Amino acid sequence: MFTMVSTFVLLQLCASVVAATNENFQNTRNCETSTFTAPVIPGAKVLSITAKERRNVDIPAAIASFQPLSDLNFCEIKVYLAHLGANDRVLVETWLPLSQDLWNDRFQATGGGAWATGMLDIALGPAIASGYAASSTDGGHPFDFFTPDWMLNENKSINWDLVHNFATRSLADQVYVGKSLTEQFYGRQPRYSYWNGCSQGGRQGYTVAQRYPGLLDGVLAAAPALKLPNVIMSGIWPIVAMHEAGTLVSNCEFSWFASKALEECDILDGAKDGVIGNPEACTFDPLRLVGQKMECSGHKIEVTGAMADAVRNVHRGPTTPFGINVFPGVPYGTPLNAFLNVTIDSNGVRTLNDPGVLDVFPRTILLKDSNFNVSKLNTSEYFALWVQANEEYGWILNTEHSDLSAFRDTGARLLSWHGINDPIIPYQNTVKYRQHVEREMGGAKAVDNFFRLFLAPGVEHCGLGAGAVPKDPLESLLGWVERGEPPETLTSETRNQDGELVTRDLCRYPRVPKYLAIGDINKASSWSCEGVDGAEEGDFAGGLKDGLKQAGLGWD
C-alpha cells in the first residue's frame, strides 16, 4: 500500500513538473515580429512593430557611472508610434530576457539624460543584465545629449509636439508599450514595475509620480532636474556673476577656494575625511581670504575683493539686482570646472574659453541667435532671459506639482537621492521641492511614508566625486515596495585617494552624518545619522511675490 501511494505521489509530482515546464515554454514566446500585437497607448497609434533576437551584445561604458557589459542576450522589440494630431514618429525600444528563467518578474522604465528623452542601449543594458524587462524611448527626435536643436522646425519655430514628448508624453508611452510587450512575451504581467533615472531621468521620474500616478509601483529618481528652465539658466550664472564683479576667476583659483572651504568645514561632521558632510553648517566666507596668496599657472596671485566677491556670488546662486536669490547655488567645496573654463596664460591674461553647452539653450531656443555671447550678459539682461525661459517653457518643462496624494494613494513609493556637491543641478533644488511637498501634505513624517530623500556628501552629478555613491538604491526601493521595508539609510561606497574602500550609510533627509569619534573613519559603522526626523512643516525658504512666482523667479 505504501509503495502504491508513494508511486502515485511521485507520478503526480512529475506531472506537475512537466506541466510547469510546458507552461514556462508556452509562456515564453518566440522572439519574432509575429509574436507581438500593437499595444494600447492612450492618445497614440502604433505605426510598426519589429522584433528580433539579440545575442552576445556588448554595451560600452559610455558614461563614467556605468560599467561596461558583455554577452547580453535578449529579445529586442522596436515599436514606432505617432500621437494623435501630432506630426511625430516616436521609437519605444523594449528589451526582454529570452526566457522566464532569466526574467525577474519586474519591468523597468528607464530615463534619459540632458537633452536626450531616453538613453536607449546605455540604460537598457544594465536593466536587462539585472533581469528586468525594460524600455526606453527617443521621444521622436535624434539622440542628442548636449543640444536641443531638435526642438526647432526648419523655419526655426518650436516643434511643440517633440517638446511635449520630451517633457511628459513619451515617459508614459514607454511604460504602456513596455508592460504590454512584456505580458505578451511571458504570458503574464510584471509583478512590479519601476522607474529608474538620474538627472533628466530624475526629473522624468518625478514627472511620472506627479502626472501618471498608478502607472508604476516605484520611482527611483536621482539628481532630478526639477524646474528645468531654472536649472538650465543657472548654469550660466557663474559667467554673469564674474562679469558683474569685473573679474574672471580661473579654474585653478576656484579649486583653491574649494580647498580652503574644505580645510575649514571638513571637521564639522567630526572627521577629516575630505568631504564636507553638512554644508549648511559651513560658514566659510571667501571675503575672509582677501590678501592671501596662491599659485596658479606659474603666477603668484593675491586674492582681491572682486575675486572673493565673484566666488561668493557664484556659490550663492542667481540673485536679482534687488538682492532676491531666486535659485540655489552649489555649496563651497564643489568643483566648478565641469563647464567653466577660465585660464591664465604666461603673461597673466585671463580668458573665458568656449562655454560649450552652457549657453546653447538661450542661444538656440530663446534668442535663435548664433552670435549670442554669454560672456557679455549683465545681470538685468540675464534675468530678462530667465523670465523669458519660464514664461515660454516653464508651463511644460517644470516639474513642481507638490500634491502627490494621487501617487501616495496608489501605494507607490518615490525614492530620491542627490549628490551634495553636484555642480550641475544644485542639491538644494531637490530639498526645496521636498520641503514644499511637506507643506502641502502634512509634514515630514507623513511624506516619509511614500517619499524619501537621501543626500550624498561629496558626490557630484549622478556619481563621482570624493563622497560615497549609493551602491544599489533600486534594491532599496524594491525592499520598500515589495517587502514594506522603508529605507532608513542607503548603502554607499567609494575609493579614497589611497585606493582604500570607503563605506557610508547615507542619511535619510533631513538627518546628517556624524562621526562617532571611535573606529575607522572609512567604515560606515563608525558613523551615525544625527538630527530629528523633521518638523511637521518643512523649513521652506521662499516668500517671493506673486509676480516673481509667475515669472519663475523662485518656488511658488
C-alpha span between 197 and 113 (Å, rounded):
8
Strand 469-470, strand 489-495: pairing? antiparallel
Residue 539 annotated as catalytic: no
Exactly one of 135, 173, 461, 476 is catalytic; name it. 461
Q: Which grid coordinates belong to 88?
A: 511625430
Exactly one of 180, 193, 199, 492 is catalytic; name it. 199
Q: Taking the CA atoms of 302, 308, 314 and 318 in sequence, report the sign of the dihedral they define.
A: negative
Among residues 267, 345, 279, 352, the alpha carbon closest in space to that of 316 is found at 279
CB 261 within 8 A of CB 332: yes
Tell me the DSSP string of 82-112: EETT----EEEEEEEESSGGG--SEEEEE--
Q: Which grid coordinates belong to 215?
A: 502607472
User: Which residues are paired to 507 by β-bridges?
Assistant: 489
User: Which residues are paired to 77 by β-bridges?
Assistant: 51, 94
> Which strand (E) or helix (H) includes residue 512?
strand 512-515
> Which strand (E) or helix (H) includes residue 78?
strand 69-83
C-alpha span between 289 and 267 (Å, rounded):
19
Residue 461 annotated as catalytic: yes
CB 96 within 8 A of CB 72: no
C-alpha span between 482 and 205 (Å, rounded):
19
Residue 130 annotated as catalytic: no
Tell me which DSSP letter residue 141 carries.
Answer: S
CB 282 within 8 A of CB 270: no
Q: Taking the CA atoms of 304, 305, 311 and 314 in sequence, report the sign of the dihedral they define.
A: negative
Q: In what order do the strands lie in the sheet with 469-470?
A: 469-470, 489-495, 501-507
Tell me which DSSP letter residue 18 carries.
Answer: H
Among residues 489, 554, 556, the alpha carbon closest in space to that of 527 is found at 489
Q: Which grid coordinates belong to 469?
A: 555613491
Q: Where do runs of H (alpha helix) occur along 275-354?
A: 305-316
Q: Which grid coordinates belong to 471?
A: 551602491
Find all residues with CB under 8 Å of 503, minimum gap 6, and list them.
468, 491, 492, 493, 522, 523, 524
Q: Where do runs of H (alpha helix) occur along 317-426?
A: 360-361, 379-397, 405-409
Strands (E), 309-458: 342-344, 350-352, 413-419, 451-456
CB 375 within 8 A of CB 443: no
Exactly one of 243, 422, 492, 505 is catalytic; name it. 422
C-alpha span between 44 and 86 (Å, rounded):
9
Catalytic residues: 199, 422, 461
